[in-house]
Amino acid sequence: MTRGRSSLEGDTLGTTRGIVGGPHCIPAGAPSISDRQKKAILLQSAEEIRKAFLRADAEKVAHTKIRVEDWVRDTPRHFAACRNDGSLIVLASDLALLPAKTFAAIIAHEFGHATDFAYPGSFLLSNRGDLVVRPQGRRSNQSVPREVLERWEKRSSDEVETTADRIAERIMGIQIGYCGPCNLQTMLTGAPEDASCHPTRPRGLRLDIMSYKTKPGYTCDNQAQLSAIVPDTDEGSIGYCVAELSSWQLEKTSVAALDADHIPTKSGVGRWVRMATASSPLSANRAVASLAFGAGPPQETTVTVAVAAPWVTSTSAFSFQVMTTPTHGPEDAAVEGLYLSVMNIVAGVGFDLMGVVQDGTNGTYDVLVMGALHVSPDQRRSIHGRCRDGR
């Protein structure tokens, strides 16, 4: 997989217990083993697969962290995710309940993502879907031509996922297929049951690559300040104009005519595009949530709080802005890699906001949650700071 991210199915993360429809991706007769045993199996398997990648000169995956945490399993077929800089792979403990050739293929796929992300522009697909490797780029990102990096960065979700499979296949000497009712990665061995598998990844399966950090959010007094002083370097950045109660998203490639819903950027490249309109004002579509990670040592990794939001709908998308508290502010969120996700939406009532700091933290983060109503799935993917799914 990879947020991963990772198009997202539902744009939210949850826990194993919250999976809609139950864990039907786990085969009947799966062994009953403790969480401690699951973790041991997965970590040992991951280290063995890491060794294969290191033997193939993918030295940077030596620094990829492996964690076993169940928050990553938000749908029946979601068992793992890779951060989009290759620095972290998260595995759900129930991954150990799958057949060995399935969980090994999923872990190898995640290491494929980690390798791809650790060496930007070094792995691409040909028009026929074959893996094209640029050896010089694997050693030094400086040697990758700009046009190659641009193509690498603009890949579709299907390309990103298929590339991870191809890297894993090349390094492990295996063939990965997609098998069973959940289309999970599996090592194809020529067994009779392989005949019912897809030999390549079906198009449109969920992507879930974990973002390294949330998109930048800025607060200014009015639109004039937004256009004149707010940085416009990060695609998807959010600008909030306090005096006008308006919310804007940065689209760096937009060349739309300047009007009430499209205003210029500081650099003149791209546009700030209105997220909330007069008929759906931001003042009615926002809430503040406090994520309290505790007062003890910085060891808490996950906090979830209920947020009242009568304006929320099933098609709402969300942007986040970390506010300043006595213990934390926006800079801390970037340094600690705070990951935010909305889940368990109840239209007209509210939702749960989950905050995750992989290495643990303490204190309180206050988060301004802003909603944009009636947006398409593609728009929701561009607004969220999130994981992408790469199974």
Most distant pair of Cα atoms in the chain: their distance: 66
Q: Give me the amino acid identity at 111.
A: F
Instruction: Give pLDDT, residue 138.
Output: 45
CB of 75 closer than 8 Å to CB of 94: no
In this prediction, residues 160-172 reach a mean pLDDT of 94
Domain that holds residue 319: 283-383
CB of 212 closer than 8 Å to CB of 359: no
Domain count, the chain: 3
Are both 301 and 155 inside the same structural domain? no
Are both 296 and 350 inside the same structural domain? yes
Spatial distance between the Cα atoms of 11 and 182, rounded to a whole number of angstroms = 19
Spatial distance between the Cα atoms of 189 and 170, rounded to a whole number of angstroms = 15
The answer on pLDDT for 140 being more than 60 is no
Residues 6+ apart with CB under 8 A from 50: 61, 62, 64, 66, 111
Q: What is the pLDDT of residues 72-82, one digit of tens each?
A: 776 777 899 89
In this prediction, residues 334-358 reach a mean pLDDT of 84
Instruction: Give pLDDT, residue 219.
Output: 65
Is residue 122 a part of any domain in this protein?
A: yes
Are both 166 and 269 inside the same structural domain? no
Are both 346 and 249 inside the same structural domain? no
In this prediction, residues 185-192 reach a mean pLDDT of 90
Boundary-marking domain end, from 186, 210, 234: 210
Are both 179 and 254 inside the same structural domain? no
The answer on pLDDT for 13 being more than 80 is no
Q: What is the pLDDT of residues 55-99, one digit of tens each?
A: 999 999 999 999 998 877 767 778 998 988 899 999 999 999 999
CB of 214 closer than 8 Å to CB of 341: no
| Axis crossing angle, helix 157-172 with helix 35-55, rounded to the nearest 10 | 80
Spatial distance between the Cα atoms of 4 and 69, rounded to a whole number of angstroms = 14
CATH code for position 314: 2.60.40
Rounded mean pLDDT of the chain? Answer: 77
Q: What is the pLDDT of residues 204-225, one digit of tens each?
A: 665 444 444 445 566 667 888 8
Instruction: Give pLDDT, residue 373.
Output: 44
Q: Give me the amino acid identity at 336.
A: E
Spatial distance between the Cα atoms of 118 and 226, rounded to a whole number of angstroms = 34
Are both 78 and 172 inside the same structural domain? yes
Query: In sequence order, what are the beta bridge partners of 321?
Result: 368
The answer on pLDDT for 293 being more than 80 is yes
Instruction: Give pLDDT, residue 49.
Output: 95
